[in-house]
Every structure is written in C-alpha cells, then in structure tokens.
Amino acid sequence: MRTLTTAVRTALFTTITAVGLTASLSAQNASAADLDALREQIRLLDQKLRVLERNSELAAETAAADAKKLPKITATEGRFEIASSDGANSLRLRGLVQGDGRFYFDDANAAQDRFLLRRARLIFEGKFAERFNYVVQPEFAGTTVSILDANISTALIPETLNVRVGRFKTPVGLEQLQSDPVAFFNERSIATNLAPNRDVGVEIFGSVLEKRLGYQVSATNGVIDGGNSNPASDNLEGDFTVAGRLFATPFVNDKDSVLKGLGFGIAAATGNYAGAQLNAYRTDGQQNFFAYRGTTVANGRASVISPQAYFYNGPLGILAEYFSNSAELINAANAREITNTAVNLSVGYVLTGEDSTYRGVTPKTTFNPTAGTWGAFEVVARFAQVDIDDDAFLGGVTSLAAATNATEVTSYGLGLNWYLSKTVRAGFNVFQNDFKLAPGAAPAAGTALADDETVFITRVQVSF
Amino acid sequence: MKLKSLLSALLAVVAVTGATAKDIELLNVSYDPTRELYVEYNAAFSAYWKGKTGDNVTIKQSHGGSGKQARSVIDGLKADVVTLALANDVSAISKNAGLLPANWQERLPLGSAPYTSTIVFLVRKSSPFYGKIKDWNDLTLPGLAVITPNPKTSGGAQWNYLAAWEYGRRKLGSDEKAQEFVKSIYKNVPVLDSGARGSTTTFVQRGIGDVFLSWENEAFLAVKEFGADKFEIVVPSLSILAQPTVAVVDKVAKKKGTEAVAKAYLEYLYSDEAQDIIGKNYYRPTSAAAKAKYAASFPKVELFTIDDAFGGWTKAHKDHFSDGATFDQIYLKK
C-alpha cells in the first residue's frame, strides 16, 4: 500500500508539474475551461491519494485490532506464560530444581554424605474466566511422584475476601509459608518441625485496611505437625482442623518509612487427631533427632500457637517465629499431654546492596565474568532450638518416646547465598546441631545422635 | 470443631469482610458517537448515586461500531450495560449469548429507547458539489464521494442505508428499484469505516469526500468544532427515526454484583437531569419538558420508523444486513 501511495504521490507531482508547465508555456492560449478541467483533475487525484492513505490507515488499524485478539505468549527469564488476548485465561509454567550436596563433619553421620536431588517441581498456575485462579504443583524428586499443591481460588471481593479450595499450606508457620527457593537457608529451621504443612480443605483469606492487615482462616482434614496430609485422607475423628493467622504490616503503604518492611502476627491451629501416627523431627542435616515410639499415637486434641514477625529494610532481613505445640498422646495405657516448643531467629544481609524481602532477593546483575558482573551475594545466620517436653520420656517401657532421642536441639547456621541471576541461586550453608539427651541416654555408636551434628550443605537451584 | 460450628465461623468472616464494599465500577459498552454524551451523563449519575446511597460508582466507557460492540459483548466483554445504536444489536446479545432475556425492551419505557436521533447530510462547503446536494437522490451524482461507515459493523450506517432505501422505494415504487438506487449511492462510497466516529475522522479530519451521511448529533458536533464556514448540515426530505436502545446485561451484572446500580443507571436516563444532558449533546430527548426546551435545535424533517417501513429490526436485518442480503449484493458486486 505504501508503494501504491508513493506511486500516486509521484503521479500527482508529475501532473502538477505538467499543469504548471502547460500553464506557463501556453498561458495566453489556455482557456478558463481548460484550467478548470486541470484543477478538477488535481482535485480528483488529491482525493484518490487521500482515499488510498485512509484505506491504508484502516487496514493497519484492523491488523492491529486483530493482533490484539491473538493469545499473548511471554517467554522471559523467570516467566513462561500463555494468556488469552484479554488476559482472562492463562497458563503459566513455573519450575524448581534443587541439587544438593551434604557433607557431615561428625563421625556419626559421615556415612550419610551424598549428592541428592532435593526438589524437582513443575508448577502449573494461571486463571480461567478472569477470576478463578489455579495451581497444580507435582513433586518429581524422590522415589514417587506426589502432588504438593493443587487448589483453585477466587476473589469474592478483590483483595479483601478470597476463597481457596484444595491442597495448600496450612496458614501457621511464617517460614513454612515462605516459598521454598527464597528462604534464607537451604533447609528451613528445625523449628518448622512443629508447624503443620500442606493439607486438604478450604481457606478464606485476604487483606483489609489497605493491605495493612492480612488474614487467613482454613478448615482442613488435619495434619498434626511438621508434615503433609495424605491428599486422599479422610479427616481425623470426624473433626476438622481449624487454623487461623493474622499478620499486620502497619507501615506497608508508607514508602519512606524505615518500618515499611515490618510485619508481625500470630497464627494458631487446633484439631482432634485421635489415632493419628506422629511425625519424626529432623535436624538441619535432615537426620531424625526425635521420634515417638511406633506404638504412640495421638489421643485427642492437639494445638499449635505461633507468634511471628519479620523485618526487611534495604539489604537487611530478619525473620523470627516461636511455636508452642501441645498434644494429647498415648502409648498403651500411658496417656499424657505434652508441650513441645521451638524458636527460630534468622538474619540475612545482601552484601551487594539489593533489597532483602520475604519474597526473596532480585539481583541487579547477572553472573557474567566477561562483562565483570557477578550477581548478588547474601550472608545469612540462624539460631534455632527445639525443646521436647520431658513428660514424653516418662513411663518406662511405655513412655511416649524412647530415651535414646534428643530432648533438646540447638542449631546454629551460617551461610552464603550467591544469586547468579533472577532464577539461579547457589547456597553454601554450615550447620551445627547440639543435642541434649535424656538423663542416662547412651545412643549407639554410629547413630545420628552419637555426636553433635556438623554439616555443610551446598545447593544449586533453578527457580522460575 | 464440628461442621455446623465451622460453617458458622466461616460465614461470620464473610459477613464481616463483606461489609466494607463501597466502590462500584460499571462498564457501559456503547456505540461510536456517544462518547461526549456519556462523559457528561456518567458524572451526573455518579453524583446522583453517591447522594442516594453513599457509594462511589465509576463508569467506564467503551465505544465502537454498534455491531462490533455487540460482538465484543457476545465474545466476553464484561459489559454491565449496553447502550447501542440498534435494538437488533442488543437482541443479538440476548439471542447469541443469552446474557439478557428476549423481552429486554419491555423493561424500560419507550421500548428502552430514552433518546432518539436521525440521519442528516454533512456537506463540505469547498466541494464542487456544494449547493447541489439537497436530498437522497443527489447522492448518486457521478463523481460525488459519499462517506458512510460499514453497515456490517455500524448502527448508524444501517440507519442511513434504510433511510436511503425507503426514500428510493417511495420515489421509484419498488424494492428492486430501491436496491438499484442504494447501489448507485454506494458506488460513490470510497471508504468504509467500521464506525460513525471513524467516518467523521475520514470526512472531517482527512478531508475525504463531498458529503457525509451522519448521525444528527455527530453532524452538529462537527459543525461546532470545525466551523460553519467549512461544513453545512443538509436535511433531506425524508429520514428515519433512529432509536438507540439501552439494556442491563443481566448475567454479567449479576455475576459482578452490580444489578441494582446498573438498572438505576439506565432508569436515570429518563430523568429530567439526564434528558437535559441528552438535549445538550444534540440527541433528541423523549421527555415532554426537554423536547419543548430543545425543539428549536432540531430541524424539521419527515421521519418514518423501522417498524412501519421494514417490519421491525429482525426483518430488516435479515433482508438487508445478514450474510448474502441486499447490502452484500450491492457492495460485493460494486
């Protein structure tokens, strides 16, 4: 069309020139009628040119409008998505692969040194009909494929009131609720052993007061602590577990406030778990340090309460939480209510100046030695402790837990995170786990508790 | 916690959080030349609704060729209300998407048409044909360039197509001759925009054509904005009573929880305040008071209705604008 327009312009110019020449060469001979005819010819050519240009314009508008109706495909670092032209329907592909190396420096666990695929997940998420969001997250690491998250959510009142149905994280542990790849350390703290994890049910969540106060309330089948429920399991004892969490970020809208990144809240869950098997608690090196006897089961209600807080300001990040977990348990005729407690205090500082946030660190540069860019570096430190109720060890041969378990574990962690790009991170962590044993306990040589645990965990992960 | 008490607790949360809703947003999907009208009307309605309920209502506008807009709603554009050029376009939304009942025209007064308009000629004064265009038959003059949008996508174009047809039928005596007459007009059409506002751009801003078959309000706006020294409104001896219609898109409004405010938004078009705004924007008001106030603004012209001349929109659309009907016969063979 452009060529055609140019041709018409040329023709018009030629005609005007011819008219001018004709007029000047034979001005005296030209009649008024001849000049009028030539003027009309120019007018008609001008109109034809304008029509061509307008039709070209309309064709371009139509093409642009048609292009808007095509599905949008986004493929950038960290985002792979197909969405309908109006954005109402979409499918986003996300993924997480973590390759670990674990190296133990204590004699008892030296045989556990290994490389392993810690996580290998493909995450499918998106929305339908604008308002129905979904996520399906299978886990491929390990010997079997399992479904971690599978839920659908919708906003009844945008921001304020949302409903989620399916399998999701129980809203209790602050670090547990944080996405795996953005936590300060390669492994969550030992305190998270006391936080319920994924469960099946329904959740209402949202925020009010212009995002200053978030809330979550869930009703689920029930998971006692530190573990995931079976996706197909029935609820325990015909009773649902109810969990709730209130989390305030009072200065979140104050752009210049030093407290903008302050958040604090409290979470709790309670349910009847009678008959449920109980989970073991693990060290930072993922070795069991406490497990109830195989014949010990829940005998009724269990509850957990967790005050929690974080503070992020520039490159500094601090996350703290406390758990008090009480449960009615029984082994044979030995029924007791025990209360275990745990604490986690984690700190991170981004050496290269990027902001530390609950959602992780985004490096300003990507690792590229030839360009002289190295990504971002963050140092992290953590103190954590789990204290097992002494009553768990009372009762002789029918005690809830054998005396060979640790009664208290104190963990110290140091680490360096290297953000090679938005999606690739390497983590180098050292953990020291000091065990306090029951009086008279003498773990067999070579077992996990024979020595305090000192472990070096490396990780390379791709997360998008 | 047992199921009953659990449900009670969850409902309590819903009730507490739900009580905070105060901001409401409506989408009015309209046809091309109503932009200015609804900018003014929306402000008036928002103030009225705020005073009545305390709620803030924001109305978003979407404009385009009427048929094209109806297609967008059918395809999923979330319109709370439609204010389109033709009743047939609203009916198409009912028929093809089931978003509102078939009897939608019975829910508001005057067949759901709170204002009317008609088709006039906007003539360029610099055209060699200036002074020669007085009526529909002058549009067939050889060499004349007539600007009109595409009847396949524009409501205004359908109105003027039918106006020309009826003129031809009355003058020449049959539908066959009327078709030849309309065909000879379309031989003079060099550009088909998808909507009336696009045709205004073509005629007024791009300087194409000698005469523009225009909505009456659009012609007034062009003269007001670009000057009476450039354009003149010519009123033909016969024209059509154009009845743009409005309707709540029930299923969308219900889903968005905006039914009440959407209904009120359209009902308020019949109020004295709205009718005055309608008159100010060169649409013909329907209330007696506003009609009297603006009577002098509108030229006298003999108007016929779609029902009287063509047996209603359903028949008119089938005979003239459906695939293979008279417009396709005329324009595809041009």
Q: Inspect the interface and report whether the beta carbons of B206 and A240 lie closer than 8 Å.
A: no
Question: Complex ipTM above 0.90?
Answer: no
pLDDT at residue B193 above 50?
A: yes
| Same domain, residue pair A154 and A56 | no
pLDDT at residue B16 above 50?
A: no
Residue B43: per-residue pLDDT: 97
Mutation choice for B interface testing from A5, A39, A45, A50 by most B CBs within 10 A: A50
Per DSSP bridges, beta strands B81-84 and A261-272 are unpaired
Q: Please calculate the CA angle A257-A258-A262 and round it to the nearest 5 degrees.
A: 100
| Same domain, residue pair A60 and A118 | no
Is residue B45 included in any domain, yes or no?
yes
Q: Is B32 on the interface with A (CB under 8 A)?
A: no
Is residue B8 included in any domain, yes or no?
no
Q: Give the residue, A230 or B302, on which the prediction is more confident.
A: B302
Closest CA to B243 of B284, B279, B207, B213: B284
List the CATH number of the domain containing A232.
Answer: 2.40.160.10
Instruction: Please report residues of B whose CB lies closer than 8 A to that of A43.
Output: 128
| Same domain, residue pair A36 and A105 | no
Is residue B12 included in any domain, yes or no?
no
Structure tokens that stand for A13 in this block: 């110019």
Q: Inspect the interface and report whether the beta carbons of A240 and B3 lie closer than 8 Å.
A: yes
Chain pair A-B, CB pairs under 8 angstroms: 66
End of a domain among A46, A65, A84?
A: A65
Domain count of the fold of chain A: 2
Structure tokens that stand for B124 in this block: 């360029």
User: Contacts from A424-427 at CB under 8 Å and sequence distance 24+?
Assistant: A424/A367, A424/A460, A424/A461, A424/A462, A425/A181, A425/A459, A425/A460, A425/A461, A425/A463, A426/A458, A426/A459, A426/A460, A426/A461, A427/A185, A427/A186, A427/A457, A427/A458, A427/A459, A427/A461
| Same domain, residue pair B188 and B134 | yes
Is residue B9 included in any domain, yes or no?
no
pLDDT in tens, B109-121: 999 999 999 999 9
| Same domain, residue pair B193 and B311 | yes
Distance CA A328, CA A389 (A): 12
Is residue B188 included in any domain, yes or no?
yes
Q: Nearest-CA distance from A272 to chain B in Å?
A: 8
Cα distances (angstroms) measured from residue B154 to each of A66, A69, B209, B236, B304: 18, 20, 19, 21, 20
Instruction: Please report residues of B whose CB lies closer than 8 A to that of A157.
Output: 17-18, 20-21
Using an 8 Å Cβ cutoff, are A132 and A154 in contact?
yes
| Same domain, residue pair A346 and A413 | yes
| Same domain, residue pair A221 and A305 | yes
| Same domain, residue pair A56 and A173 | no
Ranges in chain A, pLDDT < 50: 1-3, 21
* Residue ranges making up the domain that contains B55: 20-116+243-297
Instruction: Please report residues of B whose CB lies closer than 8 A to that of A158.
Output: none
Distance CA B303, CA B118 (A): 8
| Same domain, residue pair A12 and A80 | no
| Same domain, residue pair B215 and B269 | no
pLDDT in tens, B139-192: 999 999 999 999 998 988 999 999 999 999 999 999 999 999 999 999 999 999
Q: Is A157 on the interface with B (CB under 8 A)?
A: yes
Beta bridge partners of A428: A416, A458
Q: Is A44 on the interface with B (CB under 8 A)?
A: yes
Instruction: Please report residues of B whose CB lies closer than 8 A to that of A45.
Output: none
| Same domain, residue pair A29 and A119 | no
| Same domain, residue pair A376 and A413 | yes
* Residue ranges making up the domain that contains A36: 2-65
Q: Inspect the interface and report whether the beta carbons of B10 and A204 lie closer than 8 Å.
A: yes
Instruction: Please report residues of B whose CB lies closer than 8 A to that of A270.
Output: 1
What is the sign of the dihedral through the CA atoms of A99, A103, A109 and A111? positive
| Same domain, residue pair B28 and B99 | yes
| Same domain, residue pair B94 and B128 | no
Residue of A nearest to B209 (CA): A47
Distance CA B10, CA A421 (A): 43
Q: Is A53 on the interface with B (CB under 8 A)?
A: yes
Q: Inspect the interface and report whether the beta carbons of B6 and A219 lie closer than 8 Å.
A: yes
Q: Inspect the interface and report whether the beta carbons of A54 and B208 lie closer than 8 Å.
A: yes
Per DSSP bridges, beta strands B211-215 and B119-124 are antiparallel
| Same domain, residue pair B221 and B169 | yes
What is the sign of the dihedral through the CA atoms of B192, B197, B199 and B201? negative
Q: Please calculate the CA angle B153-B156-B162 and round it to the nearest 5 degrees.
A: 100
Residue A310: partners with Cβ closer than 8 Å, 6 or more residues away: A174, A261, A262, A263, A264, A317, A318, A319, A320, A358
A438 DSSP 8-state letter: P
Is residue B7 included in any domain, yes or no?
no
Residue B196: per-residue pLDDT: 87
Average pLDDT over residues B280-295: 96
Instruction: Please report residues of A whose CB lies closer than 8 A to that of B198.
Output: 58
Per DSSP bridges, beta strands A241-248 and A261-272 are antiparallel
Q: Is A52 on the interface with B (CB under 8 A)?
A: no
List the CATH number of the domain containing B143.
Answer: 3.40.190.10
Distance CA A338, CA B150 (A): 80
Distance CA A385, CA A189 (A): 9
Nearest CB neighbour to B76, from listed A50, A86, A271: A86
Mutation choice for B interface testing from A47, A53, A215, A239 by most B CBs within 10 A: A47
A354 DSSP 8-state letter: P
Q: What's B110-157 look like in SS3? A: HHHCCEEECEEEEEECCCCCCCCCCCHHHHHCCCCCEECCCCCCCHHH
| Same domain, residue pair B204 and B110 | no
Residue A68: per-residue pLDDT: 81
Q: How confident is the model at residue B32 (pLDDT cuts 50, 70, 90)?
A: confident
Percent of chain A at pLDDT exceeding 90: 72
| Same domain, residue pair B317 and B276 | no
- Residue A383, sorted as left (phi over 0), alpha (psi -120 to 50) or beta, turns out to be beta
| Same domain, residue pair B28 and B102 | yes
| Same domain, residue pair A251 and A365 | yes
Domain count of the fold of chain B: 2
| Same domain, residue pair A133 and A250 | yes
Instruction: Please report residues of B whose CB lies closer than 8 A to that of A86.
Output: 76
| Same domain, residue pair A304 and A336 | yes
Residue B17: per-residue pLDDT: 45
Nearest CB neighbour to B206, from listed A54, A206, A271: A54
Residue of B nearest to A54 (CA): B202
Which residues in chain B (127-186) have CB-CB distances under 8 A to chain A?
Answer: 128, 143, 145
Residue A243: per-residue pLDDT: 96
| Same domain, residue pair B144 and B228 | yes
Q: How confident is the model at residue B40 (pLDDT cuts 50, 70, 90)?
A: very high
Residue B210: per-residue pLDDT: 97
| Same domain, residue pair B328 and B291 | no
Distance CA B114, CA B266 (A): 9
| Same domain, residue pair B308 and B170 | yes
Is residue B258 included in any domain, yes or no?
yes
Residue B71: partners with Cβ closer than 8 Å, 6 or more residues away: none
Chain center to CA of B102: 19
Which residues in chain B (290-309) have CB-CB distances under 8 A to chain A?
Answer: none
pLDDT at residue B21 above 50?
A: no
Is residue B4 included in any domain, yes or no?
no
End of a domain among A65, A90, A116?
A: A65
